[in-house]
Amino acid sequence: MKLFAILLCMSLTVYTLPVAGQVPHAPTPRPAPARPDTARVRRLLQAAQQWSTADIPRAIRLSQQALGLARQLRDSVGEGLALLRLSTLHRRHNDFVLARRLARQAQALFVRRRDRQGQGRAWLQLSLIDMLQGNPVPALASALKGLRLAGQAGDSQTKFRLQATLGDIYYKLGSYDDALHVLQIALDGGQRTGDEQVTLLALNGLGNSFQMLKKWPQALSYYQQALALSRQLGDAIGETGSETSLAEVYGLQGNQAEALAHGLRAQQLVRATHDDYNLPAVELMLARAYLLAHQPDSALALARHGLHLSQQARSNENIRNASDILAQAYAQRQDFAQAYYFRNLHLAYNDTLSGEDTRRRTSRLRYDYELTGKQAQINLLTKTRQLQAQKTARQRLQLRALLAGLAGVLLVAGLLWRNIFLKQRANRHLNEKNTQIAAHRDQLNRTLTELQATQAQLVQREKMASLGEMTAGVAHEIQNPLNFVTNFSDLNVELLAELQDELAQEPASARPAIRQLLEDLTLNQTKIQEHGARADRIVKRMLEHSRTSGGARQATDLNALAGESLHLAYHGWCARNEGFSATLTTDFDPRLRPVPAVAQDLSRVLMNLLTNAFYAVTEKSKHADATYRPEVQVQTRQTDHAVEIRVRDNGAGIPLAAREKIFQPFFTTKPTGEGTGLGLSLSYDVITKGHGGALSMESQEGEYCQFTISLPVGVESVLEEIVA
């Protein structure tokens, strides 16, 4: 979550008492004149609001006094306001459990009083609590409930604040277009009613959404407006959020000087206000700035401390951001084991906050909210029809009584009959409208059923498309060698026929022609064998790709296995390529412990990676100058969580466009006929699926290429669990 959302949600007060000279933001029911004792409750709450930014413990004590006095006086309105004030203060004090309990108590009180305005504000408080804890689904549910109640109560102030909160939730879910739409409505409402906090939250939210859309000028414009408004209001919390947002945008644009300047300013503001809650978010922002400046040590120090504080506060959003920064920082330091660990942690929290399940649940909430609004309209029309029917029935009874008592008053009877006729025509028109509404509702239900069926069909089609793509790849790869086999076989038949004709004539002049035919036939047969062998290799690679390993894991010495595979691969390559020579460099970690693994499968992976390395240096030596010396390196390392094997060559490297596809089946960078495209895909499956490890690649075109095998250390049962 962006820091501005945390800061503004911390400062956003769910309910504020009007101060002297302040004009209410929206027309609300005028309360009855307060008794002297209840007026003291309001004064205590007003004082708690004034101390809420400077001294939170003092504000809590004042609010508790107001709550106790309100309960003593049985002042339910003051009790609800005091509960919401305490909930806001404990939320800002990072005590979410107590804040939620107090908000629930206020909500129950407002439900008993049938106070829709108070219920809407209680739902706003619950939505803010869930949003700060990184729970977008319950936050969205609470915001939609509060929005409906605020609209029914005519509470425009709470409505605009809920819309600003909805915009922030949509941003976190990745629905940036929806976020921009809702936040623009909230901004217009805040500016129209003079609600500076809603205006500030909407400005930062719009800047954040444009930042994610990489529209830097719009993002900077909104952030700068928010910074100016925060300084105008003397709001140090809002100023901190705007400084942080500007630092992030400048960092993403590569302007590290401006990024660090704004980031350090935000850090100074947090320390000056003793804002311990938002300190981890500011430290993570500075850590990202140092990461972009290629200073991983500074980034690691800040990110570790930010992660520790975020785990204490149970802030899922900050934990996800800290894990992402730590993964990138360790990757810059070449510590891939730690990078892999924190990347997995980042992915886990990312799925929790914005995964497919979260998107599906929030979409369902939005659909239910819209459907409930339609249903409310239908219920209102139905109730109106029932009232009209009851009214018509009463009028009929009145008419009969009048006709029985005033049979002679024809003029009055005629007027009454005309009135009844008009009412009946209106009722018929209303019945027709109700029928149309019911038909529209049924049509919506049918459309929903069709959409669900279409969704299921699309899922099945996607599966079939994947299978078809695999089949097409197989057919495409096998087609070329089989075409060669077919074409040269046909040529051999023709050449044999010509050879028979020439032999029948047997003159001495035909012997050179017969000899030429025999040479052509021999060459064609060689081509048939070559392409037939290639088709056989493709089929075998496909079978290896689909075959699961049947070997049992045993404690394997990876140093010995890597050394043996290097020498076998080198001698095999030299046997197939006369005159080839390369420098073999090994760096084996003596602390390497035996790892439970299938030695045959790992040997096959190493042989494949080493063969590719020898191929790369061979190809580069054909075009390089005399100073080039082919070299292949094999290195092993023992870390806290994994064992690594690195295979590196100084060949031509892999182009950037091909790196994302390097582990896909049938993808190869070799010329046609020299590779099947299944070796790296098979190796990837053996390492990741067969051993629960990781296979990664890094390369610089024209300089080097390095493959890293990472196998987790531990007992064999852990590996079995990973495979399962």
Residue where the block lists tokens 């029935």: 393
CATH of 40-114, one of 1.10.1760, 3.40.50, 1.25.40, 1.10.10: 1.25.40
Contact status, residue 191 vs residue 213, Cβ threshold 8 Å? no
Spatial distance between the Cα atoms of 435 and 324, rounded to a whole number of angstroms: 56
**Range in 24-28, 320-324, 595-599 with the lowest mean pLDDT:** 24-28
Cα angle 522, 526, 528; round to 5: 115
Domains 40-114 and 554-723 share a fold: no
Examine the pLDDT at 706 and tell me if it is beyond 90.
yes
Spatial distance between the Cα atoms of 327 and 180, rounded to a whole number of angstroms: 31
Spatial distance between the Cα atoms of 197 and 187, rounded to a whole number of angstroms: 10
Helix 176-193 vs helix 156-172: crossing angle, to nearest 10: 160
| Interval 622-638: pLDDT, tens | 888 888 899 999 999 99
Q: Which helix (H) or strand (E) holds 666?
A: none
> How many other C-beta atoms lie within 10 A of the C-beta of residue 232?
11
Q: Which residues contact 316 (CB under 8 A, 6 or more apart)?
A: 133, 134, 135, 349, 352, 353
Cα separation values, 380 from 369, 400, 434, Å: 17, 30, 11
Examine the pLDDT at 461 and tell me if it is beyond 60.
no
Q: Which residues contact 609 (CB under 8 A, 6 or more apart)?
A: 647, 683, 707
Contact status, residue 204 vs residue 171, Cβ threshold 8 Å? no
Spatial distance between the Cα atoms of 467 and 475, rounded to a whole number of angstroms: 12
**Range in 411-425, 481-495, 592-606 with the lowest mean pLDDT:** 481-495
Q: Which helix (H) or strand (E) holds 625?
A: none
pLDDT at 720: 44
In CATH, the architecture of 235-355 is Alpha Horseshoe (1.25)
Contact status, residue 258 vs residue 299, Cβ threshold 8 Å? no
Q: Which helix (H) or strand (E) holds 53?
A: none
Q: Which two tokens stand for residue 483?
A: 């075409």
Q: Average pLDDT, stretch 58-87?
A: 89
Q: Which helix (H) or strand (E) holds 481?
A: helix 410-505
Q: Which amino acid is at 83?
A: L
pLDDT at 143: 85
Q: Which residue has the higher pLDDT, 475 or 685?
A: 685
Contact status, residue 242 vs residue 263, Cβ threshold 8 Å? no
Q: Which residue has the higher pLDDT, 134 or 48?
A: 48
pLDDT-derived band at 351 (thresholds 50, 70, 90) equals low
DSSP type of residue 712:
E
pLDDT-derived band at 538 (thresholds 50, 70, 90) equals low
pLDDT at 459: 56
Radius of gyration, alpha carbons of the chain = 38
Q: Is 706 helix (H, G, I), strand (E, B) or coil?
A: strand
Helix 679-691 vs helix 599-623: crossing angle, to nearest 10: 150
211-225, 268-282, 312-326, 506-520 — which one is most confidently predicted on average? 211-225
pLDDT at 466: 53
DSSP result, 393-435? HHHHHHHHHHHHH-TT-HHHHHHHHHHHHHHHHHHHHHHHHHH
Q: Where are the alpha helices (DSSP H) in 76-195?
A: 76-92, 96-112, 116-132, 136-153, 156-172, 176-193
Half-sphere exposure of 154 (CA within 13 A, CB side): 5
Examine the pLDDT at 441 and tell me if it is beyond 60.
yes
Q: Which two tokens stand for residue 569?
A: 């691969």
Q: Average pLDDT, stretch 50-68?
A: 84
Examine the pLDDT at 549 and tell me if it is beyond 80.
no
Q: Which two tokens stand for residue 468?
A: 């078809």
> How many other C-beta atoms lie within 10 A of the C-beta of residue 594?
14
Cα angle 132, 165, 177; round to 5: 115
What is the 3-state composition of the chain as percent helix, strand, coil, each rounded to the nearest 5?
75, 5, 20
Q: Average pLDDT, stretch 506-518?
A: 70
pLDDT at 399: 81
Long-range interactions of 72-80: CB distance < 8 A, separation 24+:
73/35, 73/37, 73/38, 73/41, 75/37, 75/38, 75/41, 76/109, 76/112, 76/113, 77/31, 77/38, 77/113, 78/38, 78/41, 78/42, 78/45, 79/109, 80/106, 80/109, 80/110, 80/113, 80/115, 80/118
Partner residues linked to 597 by β-bridges: 554
Cα separation values, 213 from 218, 249, 367, 700, Å: 10, 12, 25, 30
For the chain, the first-to-last Cα distance in angstroms comes to 34
pLDDT at 198: 86
- List the domain boundaries for the chain: 40-114, 131-222, 235-355, 490-546, 554-723
The CATH class that applies to domain 554-723 reads alpha beta
Residue where the block lists tokens 């503004």: 8
| Interval 257-285: pLDDT, tens | 787 788 778 777 777 766 666 677 777 77
Q: Which residues contact 268 (CB under 8 A, 6 or more apart)?
A: none
The structure's pTM equals 0.41
The CATH class that applies to domain 131-222 reads mainly alpha
